[in-house]
Amino acid sequence: MSLSSNGKTYYPDVLPERTYIYYIKAPISGGLLRLESGKTVQPRVNRLIHFPINLSHQVLPYKDRRK
């Protein structure tokens, strides 16, 4: 994990133990979060998800509400 500030890249001394995803809004359809374990999570408004930082994850294709 790297962060950048003022054009400089740095790495934190201690990595966090968990990843957090918060859904401010949800897509019209799709957008499931698929975890390395095979579990899927449906995006819902105001949902907070957390899992170990070393667990791979991906967001599946979705249709969004663009204005």
Residue 49's contacts (CB-CB under 8 Å, 6 or more residues apart) are: 20, 21, 22, 23, 33, 41
pLDDT tens digits along 20-64: 999 999 998 999 999 998 999 999 999 999 999 999 999 999 998
1: confidence class by pLDDT, cuts 50, 70, 90: low
Q: Would you say the pTM of this structure is higher than 0.95?
A: no
d(CA 10, CA 38): 32
Which residue type occupies 52?
Answer: P
pLDDT given for residue 10 in this prediction: 75
Higher pLDDT, 10 or 5: 10
